[in-house]
Amino acid sequence: MTSHTLPRPSRPSIAPPTGPLPSLPVAKSRVSNVGGPALRQPSGSLLPARASNNSRAVSSPQRPTKGHTNSASNVPTIPTLTATDSTAGPLPPGKSLRKTVSIGAFPQPPKHASRLGSHPPSPLSASSTPNGETVDSRIAPGFKPPITPARRTSLKKTTPRVSNVGGRSLIGKSPLSPPSLLNGSGESLAVENGNHLTLPSPPQSRNSSAQGSYATSATTFEDIGDDDARSHAGPHAMADDNATQKDGKGNVLVSVRVRPDVGAKDSKQETDWEVSGKKALISYRGRDGGDHYYDNVFDTQDNNARVYDAAAKRLVRRVMEGYHGTVFAYGMTGTGKTFSMQGTATNPGVIPLAITDIFSYIRETPHREFLLRVSYLEIYNEKIHDLLAGPIVGPNGQPGAQEEIKLREDAKRGVYATPLKEEIVQSPTQLLRVIARGDNARRVAGTQFNARSSRSHAVVQIVVESRERGASGSLKDSKRTAITPGGVRVSTLSLIDLAGSEKAADNKERRTEGSHINKSLLTLGTVIARLSGDKDKATSDKDKSSKEKHLPYRDSKLTRLLQGALSGGSLVSILCTIQIGASGSIAANNTHIGETLSTLKFASRAKNNIVSHAKKAEESLGAGGDAGSRALLDRYRLEIQELRKQLEEQNKAKETQSVHEEQEKDEEEEKIRELEDRQRHEEQMLEMQLARTALKERIEHLNRLILSSKSLGVNNSRSFSSMSLQRGSTVSEFRPMSIRSSASHATLDVPRRGSQNTLSAVPVDGDEDEDSLGDNGDGTASQSAQIQSLQSDLVDKNRYIATLEKRLLQARRTSHSRVSMSLSQKVGGNSEEGGLLAIIAEKDAELSNLRAQLEDKERMIGALTSARKKNEAAQELGSDGSPGSRRTSQQRSEGTNGSVLSKGSPVTTSPRSFSLTSASVKPERNMDDVTRMLDEMISKQVDSVRTSADRLRRSSLPGDASASGTRRSSLRPVNELISETS
């Protein structure tokens, strides 16, 4: 015999778990040959073996992990296994390959994937990718795992075993036998020690039934990888292939597991039985006995990991690739169905191990994205219950009845239960937790054979949706382009723990349950038996419908639910559990044997009759159909797209809004600026207006003043002759005149009249009519009018002062606000502030000047009053008609004139030059002085106002040409005024 190096899927370094996963029991590391083709290598040929860290990590919150201790746990030491020499292999005989798993960890995607050089694709390593490529995802090229002593010590079994998956011995079989989806490519060759290889036999080599008949395990080929393998299989294999392709049976695995029974170990019953895992044979030598061959036979020594590897692992991977798969455990009550499916904390069963593999596959397949959802139902007394729905609370707080779950069928999904809660799961822990929750809700009760017997059929359904990631394939890119258009593939893994068949029940409830259980199991048996009857018939489409009619799927919920799997749409793995020998009465023993034989017959029928044409699920693009029928991944993709669109729209709206807000802000600022400008302009206009009004008033007043002086002079000159004129005139009738002309006129006119017409009462020119003042033409009237005028002048002055004060106040306020505004904006604002302060100071000075003038006026009024008194006294003296009185009159006239002049004199800026005793020429000069002084004063006023306005303009509009234009225009009235006054 030549030695072989078995290809072993290498589990690359196990990365630490992403989440806190509880540690889990370690499965025995082995390479199982699940129905794979026999592999025979030339002596010395080496195929890479699986890495020793081919570990299985299952995390379950309910199942504390206990790993098998192994000194070589962390060493990737996979022995090179030989198939020839039972003694000289690298593993000592009787040692099974065990290893310690890094608990809670999951395998990472392989770093290297290659074919095995010139070797044909190994059933162990060849794995069909979703794209149909055959890749070795586990073995690094040229990898030769060292064999370490530690590894050898980990081999446990003393009896060399061959797991004859497919019921065939490897001897004499080609290693390149055609693979099938489940047992064809033989991904997991079972190697229990170094002495034997467990390789799948060619289909025709297997023929087993309860009746001793021998059925052929056919093989179908669905993927390129398998086709590829087949092309290397030689003519014989190809011939087989042609036959089996038609048959399409290689997608069904039937395994039988024998439960250990310590109590009946040495009983006679046990000696009637022969269980050979190596031959995949169970023989019973008693009544109705015979040899029964299956795809796998697991003896009492085999643990759950071994069962999973051989019976379910490949199916699970196929489900991940897009096939539907169904695993169910069938057997008499208490024979280990639940034990096999669920397992224990230290010995996890098919369900937790499948979950581990599902997530391992996802990690190993970065080019696809997955979505997993799980549902869990039970069929109890022919009613379906949702095990994930949780307790239903009625309106009165009492537990309510669950909504009835019905089975429906559609072309896409086949038969399905609805309404059923489906939970989306993202981690093994989460998935295990969901299933554990369902387990707790499941109905169990004590029976004669099982203290905790499942009283219902329990169905875990894991729906796997997957889609190709972005075309670039790189993880980084695919993350970015996660939502690329592409078909979604939906496949379902159904893991079913059937209730146990039983013949005896000791109470009514159990009997009722039992009758339902038995009925459904009977229907299942009937369907499978009839499948056998149909298999020889031509299965044209016409016949197909008639065939479905007579297959009693609808007779029970169980068969209805399994319809898809049993009618060929799914890969199927059936695990039948039996127990050999049972302690108790002979009757019980006989019952037990009868049940066991019945189970074996069921298994044989299933193996022979069920034909699976399972195909990879089509990739649906999700565009058609109603939303409910679409794959969730599609729905999510659409939802994501929709949400993204909404987000983009919102972003756009936000951007537009912010632009609008900015515009509005700008507009608002512009408006504020305009408003400020307008306010400033109005302020200036007001100031100008005030200045103008004040000046006008001043001019009027001064006009009046001058005219009063003139009229005083006229009156004085006429004092001797005006008696006859009798012309009424009041101060208020004075016509406003040009200051200069009227002043000069008055200045020139009065003395002339005074000198030339001293005694003449005849007016010289018409002006006199206008200029004359006083009803009586006497000095008293004109003086009192003058006093009146001066008083009104005083009032004017006061008003003017008030106006100036108001302006001053405003100017101060404006300058304050401008200073505070410009302080923050401008450097060197101090000079401007200084300018404003200077204006204020100037205004103050102007004010005090005006006050001084006012005082002068008052003094003048006083002087005039005294002059009047003197006049009156003179009048009294002159009333006698004496020459003296004429002279006195003359003198009075002079005195009056003098008083006028003396009055005019204080109006000038120098009241100190005032003299009542001046000659008649003097008043003339004094009038000139008064006129000049008034001119000066007015021009000073005008200059002052102009300067103030200029300063204000400069201070309020620094560097703003357009605004300064506005200001300039606002100053125009002042200029006009200036020109007017000048």
Ligand X SMILES: Nc1ncnc2c1ncn2[C@@H]1O[C@H](COP(=O)(O)OP(=O)(O)OP(=O)(O)O)[C@@H](O)[C@H]1O
335 a known binding residue? yes
Q: What is the DSSP string of 497-551?
A: EPPPB-S--SSHHHHHHHHHHHHHHHHHHHHHHHHHHHHTS---HHHHHHHHHHS
Nearer to ligand X, 387 or 490 (CB): 387
499: contact with ligand X by CB under 6 A? yes
**Which part of the chain contacts ligand X (CB under 6 A), choosing from 451-459, 556-564, 825-833, 897-905?**
451-459
Pairing of β 571-579 and β 252-259: parallel
456 in Cβ contact with 512 (< 8 Å): no
596 a known binding residue? no
622 a known binding residue? no
Contacts of 114 (CB under 8 A, 6+ apart): 135, 136, 139, 140, 141
Q: Give least dist CB 509 to ligand X, A.
A: 14
How far, in Å, CA of 955 to CA of 974, rounded?
18
Q: Give least dist CB 418 to ligand X, A.
A: 27
Q: Give least dist CB 106 to ligand X, A.
A: 26
How far, in Å, CA of 316 to CA of 323, rounded?
9
Site string for ligand X, 789-828 (x = CB under 6 A): ----------------------------------------
Residues 67-126 that bind ligand X (CB under 6 A): none
How far, in Å, CA of 672 to CA of 597, rounded?
100
Residues 218-277 that bind ligand X (CB under 6 A): 259-260
Nearer to ligand X, 577 or 609 (CB): 577
How deeply is 121 buried, as exposed, middle or buried, from its count of CB atoms within 10 A (0-12, 13-18, 19+)? buried
Q: Give least dist CB 4 to ligand X, A.
A: 30
How far, in Å, CA of 276 to CA of 566, rounded?
28
Q: Give least dist CB 518 to ligand X, A.
A: 12
Q: Give least dist CB 125 to ligand X, A.
A: 30
How far, in Å, CA of 286 to CA of 526, rounded?
25
φ, ψ of residue 760 to 5 degrees: the values are -80, 135
φ, ψ of residue 273 to 5 degrees: the values are -105, 145
500: contact with ligand X by CB under 6 A? yes
Q: Give least dist CB 90 to ligand X, A.
A: 29
Q: Give least dist CB 308 to ligand X, A.
A: 13
Nearer to ligand X, 444 or 483 (CB): 444
Nearer to ligand X, 40 or 510 (CB): 510
Q: Helix 632-718 and helix 739-756: axis angle, to 10°? A: 10
331 a known binding residue? yes
Dihedral sign for Cα 769, 775, 780, 786, please: negative
Task: Classify residue 720 by its DSSP letter.
Answer: T
Contacts of 395 (CB under 8 A, 6+ apart): none
Q: With CB under 6 A, what is the number of residues at the site for ligand X? A: 18
Site string for ligand X, 150-179 (x = CB under 6 A): ------------------------------
Nearer to ligand X, 107 or 331 (CB): 331
Among 450, 609, 729, 899, binds ligand X (CB under 6 A): 450
Nearer to ligand X, 331 or 438 (CB): 331
Nearer to ligand X, 74 or 448 (CB): 448
Residues 454-473 that bind ligand X (CB under 6 A): 454
Q: What is the DSSP string of 92-104?
A: -TT--------TT
Closest by CA position to 106, among listed 367, 320, 364:
364
Q: Give least dist CB 303 to ligand X, A.
A: 8
333 a known binding residue? yes
Residues 284-343 that bind ligand X (CB under 6 A): 331, 333-339
CA distances in angstroms from 636 to 20, 429, 454, 647, 980, listed in the order given: 27, 23, 37, 16, 87
Nearer to ligand X, 329 or 464 (CB): 329
Q: Give least dist CB 378 to ligand X, A.
A: 12
Q: What is the DSSP string of 149-184?
A: HHHHHT---SS-----TTS---TT--TTPPP-TTTT
Q: For tokens 């050999």, what's the residue?
A: 580
Query: Rounded to the nearest 5 degrees, what angle is found at the Cα of 27, between the Cα atoms of 463 and 346?
Result: 95
Tokens of 19: 């989440």
Q: Give least dist CB 514 to ligand X, A.
A: 10
754 a known binding residue? no
Nearer to ligand X, 302 or 687 (CB): 302
338 a known binding residue? yes
Nearer to ligand X, 499 or 957 (CB): 499
567: contact with ligand X by CB under 6 A? no
**Which part of the chain contacts ligand X (CB under 6 A), choosing from 447-455, 767-775, 891-899, 939-947?**
447-455
**Which part of the chain contacts ligand X (CB under 6 A), choosing from 55-63, 65-73, 449-457, 730-738?**
449-457
Closest by CA position to 504, among listed 585, 561, 566:
585
**Which part of the chain contacts ligand X (CB under 6 A), choosing from 450-458, 465-473, 665-673, 719-727?**
450-458
CA 961 distance to own-chain centroid: 52
Nearer to ligand X, 322 or 343 (CB): 343
How deeply is 325 buried, as exposed, middle or buried, from its count of CB atoms within 10 A (0-12, 13-18, 19+)? buried
753: contact with ligand X by CB under 6 A? no
Other Cβ atoms closer than 10 A to 596: 26
How far, in Å, CA of 39 to CA of 198, rounded?
9
Residues 568-587 that bind ligand X (CB under 6 A): 577
How far, in Å, CA of 852 to CA of 594, rounded?
142
Q: Give least dist CB 454 to ligand X, A.
A: 3
Instruction: Give the three-state DSSP class for 910.
Output: coil
Nearer to ligand X, 506 or 668 (CB): 506
Nearer to ligand X, 466 or 556 (CB): 556
Tokens of 394: 């009625």
Query: Rounded to the nearest 5 degrees, what angle is found at the Cα of 925, between the Cα atoms of 922 and 928?
Result: 150
CA 515 distance to own-chain centroid: 55
Task: Classify residue 37 by its DSSP letter.
Answer: P
Other Cβ atoms closer than 10 A to 318: 27
Q: Give least dist CB 373 to ligand X, A.
A: 26
Among 453, 466, 893, 981, binds ligand X (CB under 6 A): 453
219 a known binding residue? no
Q: For tokens 């802000």, what's the residue?
A: 665
Evaluate the omega torsion of the peptide bond into residue 419 and state whether it is cis, within 30 degrees of 0. Answer: yes
Q: Give least dist CB 618 to ligand X, A.
A: 36
How far, in Å, CA of 732 to CA of 2, rounded?
149
Q: Give least dist CB 381 to ligand X, A.
A: 15
Nearer to ligand X, 453 or 591 (CB): 453
Nearer to ligand X, 262 or 586 (CB): 262
Residue list for the binding site: 331-338
| Binding-site residues from annotation for ATP | 331-338
Binding residues (CB under 6 A) for ligand X: these are: 259-260, 331, 333-339, 447, 450, 452-454, 499-500, 577
